[in-house]
Amino acid sequence: GAVVSQHPSRVICKSGTSVKIECRSLDFQATTMFWYRQFPKKSLMLMATSNEGSKATYEQGVEKDKFLINHASLTLSTLTVTSAHPEDSSFYICSARPIGLAGGNNEQFFGPGTRLTVL
């Protein structure tokens, strides 16, 4: 099956530092990748849609200058949390949508998530 990896799986950083999270589709190509965040016992919240070769589309309330997204290739998207603060501590999950799906077909493959803790 299609596999999506994330790196790192867990990161602890000091307040004010920046953290980069990588999302890779290992055996398929994806022009579109998605970034979610999930707080404890809550549902996933879509942060942004990452499109290869173009700017990401951010959901309302998500600061694009704080959460920098780069989709450099058909298999890699990165999320950088800039100047991280304790309230940014969360579980960040990416997903990838394989090329060629029909408009209404919303099958996505999710990465294992990255646990970010900001001290």
Partner 1 sequence: LAKTTQPISMDSYEGQEVNITCSHNNIATNDYITWYQQFPSQGPRFIIQGYKTKVTNEVASLFIPADRKSSTLSLPRVSLSDTAVYYCLVGDKNYGGSQGNLIFGKGTKLSVKP
Paired residues of 9 in beta bridges: none
Query: CB atoms < 10 A from the CB of 80, how many?
Result: 14
- For the segment 52-71, give every residue that binds partner 1 (CB under 8 A): 57
Residue 108 binding partner 1, by CB under 8 A:
yes
Q: How far is the CB of 47 from partner 1 (least distance, A)?
A: 11
Residue 27 binding partner 1, by CB under 8 A:
no
Nearest Cα to 67, choosing from 44, 50, 43? 50
Residue 34 binding partner 1, by CB under 8 A:
yes
Among 13, 45, 62, 68, indicate the residue that binds partner 1 (CB under 8 A): 45
SS3 state at 18: coil
CA distance 16 to 28: 35
Residue 13 binding partner 1, by CB under 8 A:
no
Using the rule CB under 8 A, give the single segment among 11-19, 69-77, 80-88, 108-116 that binds partner 1: 108-116
Q: Which amino acid is at 44?
A: L
